[in-house]
Chains A and B, each alone.
Chain A
Amino acid sequence: MFVATIHFISAAEAQSDSLGFSPASFFTDHPIQDRTDDEMRIIAEKAFDGIVQELLE
């Protein structure tokens, strides 16, 4: 599965359509590049349950 920010939802759909493959995905808030380390850890903690849900049956 992949993790991307919400701004990549349409890009992911477009690439899935053209490649004929739609992997599991989870989208986080945007932006990422200007975040501090602590902010990144919080983003990861908030995303974890959603990520795990995508991995499990």
Chain B
Amino acid sequence: MTTSVLDPTAEEESENRVRIKRLTSINGATIGLLDISKPRGDIFLDTVQSLLENAGAKVLRFTKPTFSKPAPVDLRHEIATTCDAVIEALAD
């Protein structure tokens, strides 16, 4: 005898989203650095910032209020509208 049960899962398939085009060059690009607020991440990003600026990029710094929740909508909007690319760090 077959047993029929109701699906306990979400039954949802995510649509696959495609990445935007990558940069052609660091020189001249505006790159956002998003600190997720885990310890030591700021030191990591300070170094990345210097190296990017030496390579000719303009760097904008952002910080998530807490690493444990998704970034607030306003922060995401600000990054999306002011940066050509964003580096988020550092999850450990």
Q: Chain A interface (Cβ within 8 Å of chain B)?
A: 1-5, 7-8, 18-24, 28, 30-33, 35, 37, 40-41, 43-45, 47-48, 51-52, 55-57
A5-B91, A8-B92 as given contacts; A56 in contact with B24, CB under 8 Å: yes
* Cα of A55 to Cα of B24 in the assembled complex, Å: 9
> CA separation between A25 and B88, bound complex, in Å?
9
The bracket for how many chain B residues form the interface is 20 to 34
Please give, as numbers and ranges, the residues of chain A lying within 8 Å of B91 by CB-CB distance.
2-5, 8
Is A18 touching B23 in the complex (CB atoms < 8 A)? no
Query: Interface of B with A (CB < 8 Å)?
Result: 13-17, 19, 21-26, 31, 38-41, 43-48, 51, 55, 85-92
Q: How long is the Cα–Cα vector from A28 to B47 in the complex, in angstroms?
A: 14
Q: Beyond A20-B16, A47-B48, list 10 extra A-B contacts (CB 8 Å).
A: A7-B92, A21-B14, A22-B19, A32-B40, A35-B40, A43-B44, A45-B47, A51-B48, A52-B26, A57-B22
Cβ of A15 to closest chain B Cβ, rounded Å: 11
When the two chains form their complex, are residues B43 and A44 in contact, meaning their CB atoms are under 8 A apart? yes
A6 smallest CB distance to B (angstroms): 10
Interchain nearest-CB distance for A1 vs B (Å): 6
Known A-B contacts A5-B92, A18-B14, A21-B16; A40 and B43 likewise in contact (beta carbons under 8 Å): yes
Instruction: Name the contact of A4 in the complex, choosing from B23, B47, B48, B92 (C-beta under 8 A).
Output: B92
